[in-house]
């Protein structure tokens, strides 16, 4: 009896599942159907689609007191005041010519007359299917359906709350623009248009996400970006088939060349000037609605190590800071490993006085240098994550006080030595100099295998680790562009903005990414010279 009851229960569940699947398939097929001429039939179909959706409003009214119509919109996404003043009131008001001139009534049946004479809104579109209606009202644009018409009208009156334009906290500068992208893609496009005012700046929009219907815009400068690169970016975006896109990182994971590499192959930024500069160099930008982070492809290792402020300071100062940044990058990757290797295998490399001091500080420590370094590195990363996740008012204080208190207590308790605390602290400070957060995370991740190699093989292990990392970087590509370009392969013409930053007047040519390209971006021979006369 119990087995039979289970079989009956499973059969009932299977029947319910099949019915649910059939109903969902029926709804999906109904979305592609064209609108009917009968208004009641359209309303019934839309109410079944938006079943249990209390925020969807169906506002019935009469156009000029005679034609039945309904206004559809979602609360919170549409501008209600403009909707009342420019749509409902003009449509519901009876015209004086209605009874005197029948010809006017016949002309008013056309969609052109309806949109031009009765609705005082700049942008009106025709919608002909249920899917068009759903897309428009989901974007905040109210839709008007009229009886005896097999099409509706979408009114561009979208309005929702958005964040004010402000400086990105992760990419702040001393000198430079203070504006950054926000979560509204329309505002972000306008910010780019404000920087690059040429009609050659193209914006190609597409929708990604079966459920979210997220707007994604591919931006490039026609005649500057290589057509092969543009086509490749379009192909990779069109291949994405997912139910939802909530942030640009979703797209980044689908379009990168090597998903198993710790190094990012797609650059992201919140700054308008950074994205504009890459567009002017021939790159392609990808804007995603709902996030302030804009993607740039292709990218290189050296692009990730450049800060926007490098181009707003004097060239010699920017070059010095860039060299200091590269030194800190090497320190953040190798300093703990070098300390462990030298302390474990290569005592002869340390001066005698310093070696005696370090041996005295390590005498009460029960762990080898490798375990000691691992403990401190894990603790430092935990404190960093705690500082990021805690509220801003207490996050910085907790991370700094926690590092001081825990470090001092660990030294006094004889768990770690004072030199190891200094090494880990210097490594953490050096890692903060990486301009891009995702590139800094890659270096933080690689620090641990480098520690293991140093603890097992000493300096030989560090050399093997460096060879493996450089080999991996040489094999990486970003949309077909070598990751270490223009240094490997060497392109002397593009080395003006890699290890050094030459003056602005020396950047006469654009970086050569791939294929044919628009070579020159400024006139030659513009070096400042007081002896030159004006023309």
Mean pLDDT for each consecutive 10-residue tract of the chain (535 residues)?
A: 55 55 50 78 87 87 83 87 84 61 47 59 82 86 87 84 83 86 91 91 91 91 89 93 91 92 92 92 92 93 88 88 91 91 86 82 83 85 77 65 71 80 86 87 91 92 94 91 86 81 79 68 76 61
**352 and 393 together in one domain:** yes
Residues 128 and 226 in one domain: no
Task: Looking at the structure, tell me whether residues 324 and 440 fall in a common domain.
Answer: yes
Contacts of 485 (CB under 8 A, 6+ apart): 300, 491, 494
On whether residue 522 sits in a domain, the answer given is no
Q: Return the CA Rg of the chain.
A: 31
Instruction: Note the pLDDT of residue 106.
Output: 46
402 located within any domain:
yes
Q: Is 65 left (phi over 0), alpha (psi -120 to 50) or beta?
A: left
Task: Choose the final residue of a domain: 155, 180, 207.
Answer: 155
Confirm if 125 and 48 have CB atoms less than 8 A apart.
no
Catalogue the long-range contacts made by 40-49 (C-beta closer than 8 Å, 24 or more residues apart): 42/145, 43/70, 43/145, 45/130, 46/72, 46/130, 46/133, 49/130, 49/134
* One domain, residues 184 and 39: no
Are residues 342 and 273 located together in one domain of the fold? no
Nearest to 251 by CA among 270, 265, 262: 265
Asked if residue 210 belongs to a domain, the reply is yes
Specify if 464 maps to a domain: yes
Q: How many CA atoms lie within 13 A of 10 on its CB side?
A: 6
CA neighbor of 370 nearest in space, from 430, 314, 416, 403: 416
At 451 the pLDDT is 92
Q: String of b and e for 93-111 (b: at least 16 CB within 10 Å)?
A: eebeeeeeeeeebeebeee
Domain boundary, last residue among 94, 129, 155? 155
The separation between CA 370 and the C-alpha centre of its own chain, rounded to angstroms, equals 38
Domain co-membership, 149 together with 251: no
* Residues whose CB falls within 8 Å of the CB of residue 287, separated by 6 or more in sequence, listed in order: 185, 188, 189, 192, 216, 217, 219, 294
The pLDDT assigned to 418 comes to: 82
Alpha carbons 456 and 374: distance in angstroms, whole number: 14
Do 178 and 205 have their domain in common?
yes
Strand, helix or coil at 164?
coil
Domain final residue, candidates 439, 459, 482: 482
Query: Are residue 47 and residue 62 in the same domain, yes or no?
Result: yes
User: For residues 345 and 349, what is the distance between their CA atoms, to the nearest angstrom?
Assistant: 10
For residues 339 and 459, membership in a common domain is answered with: yes
Q: Is 531 among the domain residues?
A: no
In a domain, 493, yes or no: no
Token pair for 126:
């025709």
pTM higher than 0.85, yes or no?
A: no
pLDDT at 285: 95
Tell me the residue range of the domain where 108 lies.
32-155
393, 257: one domain = no
Residues 20 and 47 in one domain: no
pLDDT of residue 110: 47
Does a structural domain hold residue 394? yes
Cis peptide preceding 489, ω within 30 of 0: yes
**Number of structural domains found in the chain:** 4
Tell me whether residue 499 is in a domain. Answer: no
Give the whole-angstrom CA distance, residue 222 versus residue 220: 6
Regarding whether 106 and 42 lie in a shared domain, the answer is: yes
């Amino acid at each position: 009896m119990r087995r039979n009851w289970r079989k009956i229960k499973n059969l009932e569940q299977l029947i319910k599942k099949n019915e649910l699947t059939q109903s969902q398939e029926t709804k999906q097929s109904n979305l592609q159907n064209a609108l009917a001429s009968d208004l009641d039939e359209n309303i019934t179909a839309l109410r079944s689609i938006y079943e249990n959706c209390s925020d969807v409003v169906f506002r019935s009214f009469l156009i000029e007191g005679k034609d039945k119509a309904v206004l559809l919109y979602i609360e919170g996404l549409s501008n209600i005041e403009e909707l009342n003043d420019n749509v409902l009131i003009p449509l519901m008001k009876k015209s004086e010519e209605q009874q005197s001139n029948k010809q006017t009534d016949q002309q008013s049946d056309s969609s052109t007359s309806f949109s031009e004479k009765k609705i005082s809104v700049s942008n009106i579109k025709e919608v002909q299917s249920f899917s068009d209606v759903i897309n428009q009202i989901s974007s905040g644009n109210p839709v008007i359906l009229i009886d005896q018409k097999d099409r509706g009208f979408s009114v561009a009156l979208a309005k929702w709350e958005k964040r004010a334009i402000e400086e990105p906290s992760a990419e702040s500068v001393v000198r430079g623009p203070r504006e950054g992208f926000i979560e509204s893609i329309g505002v972000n496009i306008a910010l780019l248009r404000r920087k690059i005012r040429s009609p050659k700046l193209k914006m190609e929009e597409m929708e990604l996400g079966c459920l979210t219907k997220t707007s994604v815009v591919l931006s490039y400068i026609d005649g500057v970006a290589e057509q092969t690169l543009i086509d490749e970016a379009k192909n990779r975006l069109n291949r994405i088939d997912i139910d939802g896109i909530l942030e640009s990182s979703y797209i980044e994971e689908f379009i990168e060349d090597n998903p198993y590499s710790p190094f990012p192959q797609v650059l992201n930024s919140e700054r308008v000037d950074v994205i504009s500069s890459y567009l002017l160099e021939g790159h392609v930008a990808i804007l995603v609605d709902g996030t302030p982070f804009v993607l740039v492809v292709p990218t290189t290792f050296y692009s990730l190590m450049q800060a926007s402020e490098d181009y707003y300071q004097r060239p010699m100062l920017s070059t010095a800071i860039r060299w200091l940044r590269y030194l800190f990058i090497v320190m953040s990757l190798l300093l703990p490993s070098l300390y462990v290797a030298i302390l474990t295998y290569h005592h002869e490399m340390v001066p005698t006085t310093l070696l005696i001091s370090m041996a005295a500080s390590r005498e009460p420590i029960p762990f080898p240098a490798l375990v000691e370094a691992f403990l401190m590195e894990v603790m430092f990363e935990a404190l960093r994550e705690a500082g990021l996740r805690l509220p801003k008012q207490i996050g910085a204080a907790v991370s700094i006080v926690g590092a001081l208190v825990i470090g001092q207590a660990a030294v006094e308790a004889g768990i770690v030595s004072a030199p190891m605390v200094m090494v880990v602290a210097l490594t953490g400070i050096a890692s903060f100099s990486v301009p891009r957060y995702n590139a800094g995370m890659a270096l933080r991740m690689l620090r641990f295998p480098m520690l293991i190699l140093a603890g097992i093989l000493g300096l030989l292990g560090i050399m093997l680790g460096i060879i493996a990392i450089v080999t991996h970087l040489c094999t990486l590509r970003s949309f077909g562009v070598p990751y270490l370009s223009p240094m490997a392969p060497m392109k002397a013409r593009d080395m003006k903005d890699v290890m050094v930053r030459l003056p602005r007047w020396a950047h006469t040519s654009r970086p050569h990414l791939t294929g044919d390209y628009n070579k020159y971006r400024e006139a030659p021979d513009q070096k400042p010279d007081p002896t030159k006369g004006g023309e």
